[in-house]
Amino acid sequence: MSKSTKKPKLGSASVTAPLERDTQNKKRSWWSFGVKKRTGASLVGGKQDARRYLLVWLIMALAMFVLIARAAYLQIFNAQFYIDKGDELITTVRTEPSYRGVITDRAGAPLAANAPLYTVFFDPYAYAEEYYRLVADMNSTKKDAVKQRTLTKLKDMDLVKLAAAANFPLEKLQAAVKIDPKLDASDDKKVQAALPKGAGSRRLVLLNRVSPEIAESVMQLEFFAVGREQYFQRYYLQAEPNAQILGFMGQSSDGSGYIGRAGIEAKYNELLAGKDGKVLALRSRGSQVIQEIEQIEPLVEGRDINLTIDSRLQYVLYKELEQVGRLQSARSSSGMVVDVKTGEVLAMGSWPSFNSNNLSERDGANERNRPVLDVFEPGSVMKPFTVAAALESGKYNTNSVIDTSPGSVSVGGYTIRDGGNYGVITLDKLIQKSSNVASTKIALNLPTNAIANMQMKFGFGAKTALDFPAESAGKVIVPKDRELSRRATLSYGYGQQVTLAQLAQAYAALGNRGLMYPLRLVKDQPSKEPTQVIGAQHAEAVVRMMELVTGAGGTGQAAAIDGYRVAGKTGTSRRTNPQGGYYTDQHRAIFVGVAPASNPRFAVAILVEDPRRQSYAGQVAAPVFANVMKEALRLYNVPYDKPLRQATQAPLS
């Protein structure tokens, strides 16, 4: 065998070389895949190119991932935020003011109504922004038609027109917009720096709460960046007579708007006010509403309040109170008229009063609704309830007599006196002569709590159903067994605190045969169930006794009305001295009564505080009662129950 055919031995170099080359090819690096095997510089350059290629792709993939993630965040995960931001630029939430309900009297005549007012405002920021945009557009275009249109718009934005229409200082408008004629309007950064900033930059009030006619003189210009807001101003008809009942409007403590601050306006504020609506609307660059999009919150209009007040009678009452107050140089005067059959308050007022359309006249004294706020010792007007307690006790009847001689009685170390020695008198004479001694003897002859309990049954010592803001409950203290003087003084109207409203309610119950209807001021509210306070026969008996007061020999003859039987009671009490005891020269004059006595229809209560010219209720309060009651009977066509007096005719010549 020759050398050429000789097989190589296993393990020799000629055998292992091909095997090593195959193994090396299989062990190529991952980054050199697909690159031809080279030697030297070519091999190194190829490896570097592959690395760069993959690095570029990695960066591109990472950037694409970031962009996709950002787009997902903006469009999916946080989309609503940017939608809201966009909406803020082109939309606005407009408030629809609710129409406050009207307060009317019993016949529907308005007592408190709404007058529409407008506030016209100007947006200096929007004006300046639009001005610079128009200047930039005019400078950048070469078309004459476009320039002319832009120039026309700029002329329409002349502040001289706006100043003249709104009667607003031109200098203030110019200072607000801060227009710089030399500014390069094409430079956005300079424009942004020049736009107005700070307070008043987005809202400058041109006309504040003016009538629609005045506002229209500006709005008809259709001036850029000018808008208006509608308000309703409360207006009160018969302002002074109704001021304390209706109350007034004022700014809320949280600054959210105007609310009722007293009287009916405050008590029924939520019902009267309703609820403002909110509307999402498109707005222009000038902040003007273009189109409404949707109702966000529904508008709830305020409801009307229909009072039991008769505005005719209310006016009569107030004028009478004003006249007696001025004539007597009194501190104040107040009165009420109540429908005996229903408990409805037909009139309630006080003097002095204020014009509720001009709150600068208001002070702490003239805004008080005295018939429900002021408490006082009523004096002899409480004696009919002492007689009622006597009749209800069974110890007395209409024929019972009481010895008042010698015109005084000593109780608990105090001496109680009458105006004279009336001797032996009946219960009707007790009322007619207003005997303190007879009242005292009744009180001491009845159980300890009899007088106080009777007064509380008639509503004294508790708020009336009117539940007026800050209404007083008064006070009736039940005396203890050993408190003889308190038992005595309660019987003739001292030692307790009452309101005029409580007196009117109690006398109305007497006039309604002992059936007491709670007082009512709002007709729409259901009336509460009446209460039978005393027996009908006893109530009628007390009313008959009170008729003597207005007749011959009575203390209230000035309360008599021609053609009608009038039952009532005078009360002249001393005013309390804060230093202790009572003033000797300051009095309170009260007259309360019902008519016609045969079938009472109305109860009227009149109080004059500290009259200076005359003191006695028969001289001061009784004539006011007569004038008010006479007008009430006339307005409601109540039939006569007594013959008219014949007018005296002068002899013919």
Local structure of residue 11 (DSSP, 8 states): T
Q: What do you get for the CA distance between the two ends of the chain, in Å?
A: 196
For residues 260, 265, 271, 274, the Cα torsion angle rounded to the nearest 10 degrees is -50
Partnered with residue 204 across adjacent β-strands are 122
According to DSSP, the β-strands at 249-251 and 226-236 are: unpaired
Helix axes 536-547, 500-511, angle to 10 degrees: 110
Q: Which one of the listed residues 287, 332, 333, 380 is annotated catalytic?
A: 380
How far lies 272's CA from each of 103, 238, 261, 269, in Å? Answer: 9, 20, 13, 5
What is the full DSSP assignment across 106-157?
A: TTS-EEEEEEEEEEEEE-HHHHHHHHHHHHHHHHH---HHHHHHHHHHHHHT
Q: How far apart are CA 409 and CA 438, in angstroms?
A: 9
Contact 558, 368 (CB under 8 A): no
In the structure encoding, which two tokens stand for residue 425, read together? Answer: 């008198």
Q: How far apart are CA 370 and CA 267, in angstroms?
A: 17
Neighbouring CB atoms inside 10 A of 28's CB total 12
Neighbouring CB atoms inside 10 A of 638's CB total 18
Hey, is 255 helix, strand or coil?
coil
Contacts of 632 (CB under 8 A, 6+ apart): 313, 337, 346, 601, 602, 604, 638
Q: How far apart are CA 391 and CA 545, in angstroms?
A: 12
CA-based max dimension of the chain: 196
> What does the radius of gyration of the chain's CA atoms come to, in whole angstroms?
46
Contact 572, 587 (CB under 8 A): yes
According to DSSP, the β-strands at 332-339 and 602-609 are: antiparallel
Q: How far apart are CA 70 and CA 85, in angstroms?
A: 18
Residue 122 CA, distance from chain mean position: 31
Q: How far apart are CA 123 and CA 456, in angstroms?
A: 65
According to DSSP, the β-strands at 515-516 and 204-210 are: unpaired
Scored b (16 or more CB within 10 A) or e, 187-222 reads: eeeebeebbbeeeebbebebbeebeeeebeebbeee
Identify whether 311 is a catalytic site residue: no
Q: How far apart are CA 423 and CA 404, in angstroms?
A: 5
**Phi and psi angles of residue 292, each rounded to the nearest 5 degrees, phi first:** -80, 140
Please choose, from the candidates 394, 391, 398, the residue with its C-alpha nearest in 3D space to the C-alpha of residue 429: 398
Q: Where in the sequence numbering do the catalytic residues fall?
A: 380
